[in-house]
Chain A
Amino acid sequence: MSTSFGSRRLVVGAHYGLRDWLAQRVTSLLMALFTIAVVVQILLPGPLDYTRWSAIFARQWMKVLTFITVVALLYHVWVGMRDIWMDYIKPVGLRLALDIFTIAWLVGCAGWAIQVLWRL
């Protein structure tokens, strides 16, 4: 762990860059796992009607995996959108407003998705 005092204290920033970089990759792998799980179940033989489609997400392990994916998506998209705002939006006030909009948008969407998942 980094030291925040003394001669060995960290003087080059909070290192959240590395954390976000790593988080974006870890979350992408989790979402890829979910994608593969859904695609494989869709490709299984038989017609894809409502009963079969909703049953895919009703299984407990799929609910857990979908929930993990929603949370992973939340973090992944936050890192990505913040990168976009940092690259193109220079006025601090506007950037802060867009950051807040991004968080509100994402938390709202995640809440909705989890609500859908929970009543299955």
Chain B
Amino acid sequence: MATSLKEQPLKRPPVYRNIHVSDLTTYRLPAAGWISILHRISGAAMFLLLPFAIWLFDTSVTSEVSYEQFTAAFSTGAWMLPGWFLKLVAFALLWAYLIHFCAGLRHLWMDATHDVGLEFGRISALTALALGTIVAFAVGAKLFL
């Protein structure tokens, strides 16, 4: 009996670690994981694009002359950047805002109801992703097409 114990292969407990950046290509995130990291990425992106957002606000409301400048930026471009690129950046800003908004509402809902089960996490994450994306494309199409 004593020898059989020794011959048994050592059973190692599973190791859980934070994933490393290099794992990203093979690691499959669940929907709740996607909305979580997108919440963060969209927040950081909006932080960096804040001066651009305020520039849009500034030129669009200050005067009719600046309003012309605002609309011209998306057709002829500004700061040596082409118009289509600024449209793309504005669309990214819009998408980031809506994803962040929906993910934030999801958080507030979970805080208020303690509805934090696996199934709710999955469904609400997919809903937030879909809603943010659909509205972004709808508004983007109305603004730019």
Assess whether A113 is interfacial by the CB under 8 Å rule. yes
Chain A residues lying within 8 Å of B62, measured Cβ to Cβ, are 54, 116, 119-120
Q: CB distance A116 to B44 under 8 Å?
A: no
On whether A25 and B111 interact (CB within 8 A), knowing A32-B101, A84-B40, A113-B57, the answer reads: yes
Provide the main secondary structure of the chain A interface. Answer: helix
Q: CB distance A81 to B61 under 8 Å?
A: no
Chain B residues lying within 8 Å of A50, measured Cβ to Cβ, are 60, 64, 67
Number of interface residues, chain A, beta carbon within 8 A: 22
Q: CB distance B101 to A81 under 8 Å?
A: no
Cβ-Cβ contact count across A and B, 8 Å cutoff: 54
A16 to B111: give the CA distance in the assembly, Å: 18
Which residue of chain B has its CB nearest to the CB of A54? Answer: B61
A53 to B47: give the CA distance in the assembly, Å: 24
* Contact surface of A with B, Cβ cutoff 8 Å: 25, 28-29, 32, 35, 50, 53-54, 57, 77, 80-81, 84, 102, 105-106, 109, 112-113, 116, 119-120
